Amino acid sequence: MPTVLLLGGTGEARRLASVLPPYRVISSLAGRVADPARPAGEVRIGGFGGPAGLAAYLRAERVDAVVDATHPFAARMSANAAEACSATGVPLVVLRRPGFECKPGDDWRRVPSLEAAAAMLPGIAGRIFLTTGRQGLAHFAHLTEQWFLVRCVDPPVPPVPPRLEVVLDRGPFTVDGETELLARYDIGVLVTKDSGGAMTAAKLDAARARGIPVVVVDRPPVPPGVAVVSTVDEVIAWLCAARR
């Protein structure tokens, strides 16, 4: 029975884990969320110790293929996977859902990084809905004049912006709910990563309806030379081809 190491706790990764038998599937979660949604099959939680540690794990578990289904912004893990698979000769495919699509009526301001997003905010609005995750809040901690609404799964830890309100919640979200949230807090600008996916896309529809600008942080590039697909079905087809 082939062994597949499935990296990531995304919705796509959980769906993939549930449909891959007769493979032996090992799902690896980073452990950054206190109560993650657990996929089917074997689960390991925590890091590998860099590319060398991951390569050692691939050899020890006799992994036949690796599927990188991590979050589109998990650049370090993707780089580690590419290096470890190159060192061991284990085939690797990256599953990346399509990014968000800019639609008529949107007012998007694309930036290459969280630092660039923070630098842009003082010139746009004073009340900001920040949906980039709790780990990147340090990039906004120096903004003392702006007020932030932050939504995340677990409570953030310092450094964080001094004027901050936190909403603990997990998607999927609805357009009606997001519209009400923007109105209740009188939000003037939305900041989001281009993570894609239906679970969090409603905020973009709500921002469009209210005429609110959106600062969109672009994705980091996928490591060069790695196969990239965008759907669970494409991963299954790739795995079947890799076995031939």
Instruction: Tell me if 31 is assigned to some domain.
Output: yes
The domain of 15 spans: 3-96+220-243
We report the CATH number of the domain holding residue 174 as 3.40.50
144 within domain boundaries: yes
- Same domain for 225 and 205, yes or no, is no
Is the Cβ–Cβ distance between 182 and 174 less than 8 Å? no
214 closest CA partner among 95, 147, 132, 140: 132
Residue/partner pairs of 121-124 with CB below 8 Å, 24 or more apart: 121/146, 121/189, 121/191, 121/215, 122/146, 124/188, 124/189, 124/213, 124/215
| Segment 51-97, tens digit of pLDDT | 999 999 999 999 999 999 999 999 999 999 999 999 999 999 999 99
Given a contact cutoff of 8 angstroms between Cβ atoms, the answer to whether 44 and 27 are in contact is yes
Q: State which amino acid sits at residue 147.
A: W
Question: Looking at the predicted structure, is the pLDDT value of residue 107 above 90?
Answer: yes
**Within a domain: residue 23?**
yes
Query: What is the total count of domains within the chain?
Result: 2
Kindly state whether residue 102 falls inside one of the protein's structural domains: no
- What confidence category does residue 211 fall into, taking pLDDT thresholds of 50, 70 and 90? very high
Give residue-wise pLDDT tens across range 139-149: 999 999 999 99
User: Is position 101 within any domain?
Assistant: no
* Residues 63 and 148 placed together within one structural domain of the fold: no
**Can you give the pLDDT at residue 71?**
93
Burial of residue 30, with CB atoms counted within 10 A of its CB: 0-12 exposed, 13-18 middle, 19 or more buried: middle
Q: Is 119 in contact with 140 (CB distance < 8 Å)?
A: no
Residue 71 and residue 146 in one domain: no
Query: Do 119 and 207 fall into the same domain?
Result: yes
pLDDT mean over 183-187: 98
Answer whether residue 143 is part of any domain.
yes
Q: How confident is the prediction for the chain on average, in pLDDT?
A: 94
Say how far apart CA 29 and CA 25 lie, in whole Å.
Answer: 13
Count other C-beta atoms under 10 Å from residue 125's C-beta.
Answer: 18
> In this structure, are 183 and 234 located in the same domain?
no
Residue 43 belongs to some domain of the structure: yes
Q: Indicate whether 59 and 90 sit together in one domain.
A: yes
